């Protein structure tokens, strides 16, 4: 490993932004990988758009650090350039730098699609997608967290078996809600009575620890996905007939299921 400062402009922007939040960091390399340590237990792998990696390279790197008790996050250049505020908010959350609110001090209520979409655009790395149910947590009339869920789907496992998906969970930038996700899931379960709840963890950022603590069990590992970028650096899932332009991909997802 060699300590250095990278010349890449976005690396410099990132380090300055992290320093503005009074978070110490330093650059180093490991072979072809450009890394930024921001904590004894958190490292960012800075993935430039111009690279010759394959998904397994990134998966192997992450697993090596995971075995050492270190969380390694793959931060892609396009994500930093398009959503710097959301990236910084996620980093601060991982480091425990947020204002903490206890879930029992919040009120729960259903929210409208425009409110949910706006909140997710501001506070979730992947933004908003279609969902059936949108449920928020409020502190003093301020929306501080929300979860979106799919409609219930009948499954053939047993009679009257109904499954739903937790699609998005987001917390307002600068805050952490102790027990917030648990409270939202409990409300959804009591209101709509699914037999199970399914969700996915983005392997670039998470190993699903928060879901495991809530009683979810991992049931599958989904393959990496390849994306094309539009002119605004928005990712669009690559179709077979599309011309491959950018080597942009994720490291897949982990599927989790919670039985009620």
pLDDT for 109-136, tens place per residue?
Answer: 999 999 999 999 999 999 999 999 999 9
Question: How far is the C-alpha of 225 from the C-alpha of 55, rounded, in Å?
Answer: 9
pLDDT bracket for residue 234 (50, 70, 90):
confident
The dotted CATH code for 100-259 is: 3.40.630.30
pTM value is 0.90
Closest CA to 47 of 32, 37, 31: 32
The per-residue pLDDT of the chain, averaged, comes to 92
User: How remote is the C-alpha of 76 from its chain's centroid?
Assistant: 13
Domains 2-94 and 100-259 are alike in CATH topology: no
Q: What is the pLDDT of residue 242?
A: 56
DSSP lists the bridge partners of residue 97 as none
**Which of 3-17, 25-39, 51-65, 111-125 comes out lowest in average pLDDT?**
3-17
249-254 mean pLDDT: 96
Q: What is the pLDDT of residue 247?
A: 66
197-204 mean pLDDT: 97
Q: What is the pLDDT of residue 245?
A: 53
Q: What is the pLDDT of residue 7?
A: 46
Residue 60 region by backbone torsions, left for phi larger than 0, else alpha for psi between -120 and 50, else beta: alpha
pLDDT in tens, 46-105: 999 999 999 999 999 999 999 999 999 999 999 999 999 999 999 999 999 999 999 999
Q: What is the pLDDT of residue 4?
A: 40
Would you say residue 192 has pLDDT above 70? Answer: yes
φ, ψ at 8 (rounded to 5°): -55, 130
**C-alpha count within 13 angstroms, C-beta hemisphere, residue 66:** 15
Please give the residue that has the higher pLDDT: either 169 or 156. 169
**Which of 131-135, 150-154, 203-207, 234-238 comes out lowest in average pLDDT?**
234-238
The dotted CATH code for 2-94 is: 3.40.960.10
Closest CA to 185 of 218, 213, 219, 224: 213
Which DSSP category does 133 fall into? E
pLDDT bracket for residue 236 (50, 70, 90):
confident
Longest dimension (CA), the chain: 61
Would you say residue 3 has pLDDT above 60? Answer: no
Helix H segments across the chain? 9-20, 55-66, 77-82, 84-94, 113-123, 180-192, 209-213
169-191 mean pLDDT: 97
Would you say residue 6 has pLDDT above 70? Answer: no
What is the SS3 assignment for 145?
strand
Question: How far is the C-alpha of 126 from the C-alpha of 135, rounded, in Å?
Answer: 18
Domain coordinates in residue numbering, the chain: 2-94, 100-259
What is the SS3 assignment for 156?
coil
Please give the residue that has the higher pLDDT: either 36 or 156. 36
């Amino acid at each position: 490993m060699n300590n250095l400062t990278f010349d890449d402009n976005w690396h410099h922007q990132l380090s300055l932004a992290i320093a503005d939040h009074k978070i110490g960091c330093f650059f180093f390399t490991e072979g072809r990988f450009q890394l930024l340590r921001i904590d004894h237990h958190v490292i960012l792998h800075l993935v430039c758009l111009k690279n010759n990696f394959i998904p397994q390279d990134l998966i192997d790197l992450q697993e090596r650090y995971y075995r050492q008790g270190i969380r390694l996050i793959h931060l892609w250049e396009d994500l930093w350039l398009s959503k710097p505020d959301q990236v910084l908010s996620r980093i601060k959350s991982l480091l425990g730098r947020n204002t903490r609110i206890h879930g029992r001090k919040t009120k729960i209520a259903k929210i409208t699609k425009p409110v949910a979409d706006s909140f997710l655009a501001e506070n979730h790395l992947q933004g908003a997608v279609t969902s059936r149910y949108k449920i928020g947590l409020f502190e003093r009339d301020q929306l501080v967290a929300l979860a979106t869920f799919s409609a219930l789907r009948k499954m053939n496992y047993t009679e009257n078996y109904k499954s739903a998906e937790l699609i998005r969970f987001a917390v307002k930038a600068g805050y952490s809600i102790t027990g917030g996700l648990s409270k939202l899931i409990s409300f959804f379960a009591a209101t709509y009575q699914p037999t199970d709840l399914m969700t996915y963890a983005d392997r670039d950022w998470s190993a699903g620890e928060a879901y495991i603590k809530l009683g979810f069990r991992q049931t599958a590992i989904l393959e990496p996905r390849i994306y094309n970028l539009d002119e605004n650096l928005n990712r669009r899932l690559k179709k077979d007939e599309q011309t491959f332009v950018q080597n942009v991909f994720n490291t897949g997802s982990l599927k989790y299921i919670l039985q009620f």
